[in-house]
Structure 1
């Protein structure tokens, strides 16, 4: 709503606060006029309640609105036992209208206060937006650089771990080759000794046979 008023014509901007102040007063007077048509015993208090509400809301804003609502609730609570059902419903509707009028008055006061605040020039707003944009871009670039550094560090760590594993595999292959060489050498020595043992047994058998023939 403020944006529409700020970009409207000067005449509209000039009459806008007057309109906001006039509406709550018109609503209060209309509500009091309608309330006086009721035969309720509380009718004679309606003008004073409306005036008190208007003064409280105008003087104390939100706190005044809360006090005016408390006043309406207290009057309705005290007067309800002496009212018939139809009159009570009428009175509740009337008090609700008074409460709504007080709220409209509070909105008009807040709207006027917001319109009276000096609006900053477009250049200042653009500079602030530009500065905020540059700061966001700077923070984003710093975050990107930090993520790149972390990714590079992780890549280096993984590369080192991979090289370490590859080196261990090479060492294991070398050890396995040495073990296989030693195993082949031992197998060759075993075969030689087995052949020597077999030859020795044959020679002993021949000697024993020759000795047995001589005897």
Structure 2
């Protein structure tokens, strides 16, 4: 693929040429190692939270360089690449992100029972878990929208109107995903087919549950810890 980085060891394992499931499993292995290392020294809830945070950071650090580099000329080439593991990896990562919130809630519960230095650490891990999980979910949907636009449903998302329509980059799909993640709606883009609208609906509902129920509840719990 012209303009795409050469298939070096890094790019074959984690970068442009890596299957999505390989990136996901590498991230989860990194998180598992951190969890096992921390278990003798901290509570299992804190160890699991820290492990997920490392896994989430690994996912973001391997995907975002691709998103940033995939301009309008490279985006169709990247999205057109066949990857049979993409769907399973997406379900795995989103599921783990949602499940990690249970760990964040448990960490806050433990923090409410602790008066020492551990309280601040538990709160910090819980907040970081929520932020990273939210970012991971919207990043996964960034890739999903690009896939639908270029491969599954060509032209499913229109950027601009009439003669002003633009050729989108992956950053444009990040704009769509994070706008939905924050506002639960699209802004100045047009959705052209039902499958893309169904994806947006699922994303908006997940973001609403995440933002209103979980994040707002976490903020209230944290506020209560300092009363």
TM-score, structure 2 length as denominator? 0.34
Q: Name which one, 1 or 2, has greater alpha-carbon Rg.
A: 1
Larger relative helix fraction:
1
